[in-house]
Amino acid sequence: MSVSKNLSCERESVIDVPKDKKCSICSRDAVIFLPYANKYMCQRHFFRHFEKRFFETIREFEMIKKGETIALGLSGGKDSTTLLYMLNKLKKRFPFKLIAITIDLGIECDYNRKIIEIARGTCKSLDVPHSIFSLKNDIGYTLDELVAKTGTRNPCSECGVVRRYLLNKHARELGADKLAIAHTLNDTAQTILMNIIRNEPMRLLRYNEHLVHDGRFVPRIKPFLRSPEREVVLYGRLKGLNLLDKKCCPYSSYAFRSFVRAEVEQLENKYPGSMFKILNSFLSLQRMFRERGDDKSKMIINYCSICGEPSSEGECKFCKLVKQLPR
């Protein structure tokens, strides 16, 4: 794959271990070292390891049922592109309908254009129905224009609001039963810590647990919940997928998540397996919450007084954002 020279990011090396290292299982040439397991793996055993964890995660959390329509939030970045491949692979052995949804934020940079191109091309090659929705068409502004008009100091927050809103809205309109999000183990560990730091316990508890059920809200699933990002990327690269590094987004440096990501990566590098421990601690807290006998029916969902979409407040964050924009 040729990457535009205007992109500021570099593609990661496909194989990240010295050439003389052998698989801990069969003595073939290793393609990856798993520090948390203290094992080297060849391509064949790494594929088995990665796919086994993926399928077991879907089974453990009962993410997909036969006959359901699963919409994938496909940005065209490396994680969502690999998830598209894996869900398509699962579909061949487990009957469900797979569709992909891309939100074109209208960011004027080579990276945004390239990932839209990748999303379109990958869906075509895998014969997956693909719908692209433009932020400009939905609210009359691109993300660049929205950032300029609101004068926000945290573009990633606004981006997250509009992406979540539009993915849910369009997935529902397309008849999806579930909305698949390509959050990896890294993303999960970061989100858990961010919600703790921000003192948002209910947001934390509903991260992987549907506390409310409502016809206007499409339940989200995260099949890469237990998959480290570097393994997701390596699997996709070894399978020949067209991947770009999502960190090329020009707004990524503004995010609070960027700080937390760096801390989590440092923790994982020094103490391998820390991300799994953060996830398992979180899942234990969720189980304790359920076992306390807290009735899910007590979790009441509200509706935005402006657009009617599900919201935790009288007006959803999307409409509050749109109200700031000049008309």
CATH number of the CATH domain containing 105: 3.40.50.620
Q: How many domains does the chain have?
A: 1
pTM over 0.85: yes
**pLDDT of res. 110:** 83
Q: What is the pLDDT of residues 25-73, one digit of tens each?
A: 998 999 999 999 999 999 999 999 999 999 999 999 999 999 999 999 9
327 is a domain residue? no
Neighbour count for residue 260 (Cβ, 10 Å): 17
**pLDDT of res. 48:** 98
74 is a domain residue? yes
| Ranges under pLDDT 70 in the chain | 1-15, 209-213, 245-248, 251-255, 293-300, 327
Secondary structure of residue 246 in the 3-state scheme: helix
**Cα–Cα distance for residue pair 25/4, rounded to 1 Å:** 39
109 is a domain residue? yes
Structural domain of residue 139, as residue ranges?
46-300
Beta strands in the chain (DSSP E): 32-34, 39-41, 69-73, 97-104, 130-134, 178-180, 220-221, 302-303, 310-311
**pLDDT of res. 57:** 96
- Give, in degrees to the nearest 5, the angle at Cα 154 between 179 and 192: 50
28 is a domain residue? no
64 is a domain residue? yes
Secondary structure of residue 35 in the 3-state scheme: coil
**Residue 100 and residue 129 in contact, taking contact as beta carbons nearer than 8 Å:** yes
**pLDDT of res. 207:** 77
**pLDDT of res. 248:** 66
13 is a domain residue? no
**Residue 205 and residue 195 in contact, taking contact as beta carbons nearer than 8 Å:** no
12 is a domain residue? no
Provide the pairing of β-strand 39-41 with 32-34.
antiparallel
Residue with tokens 């998830």: 83
**pLDDT of res. 253:** 62
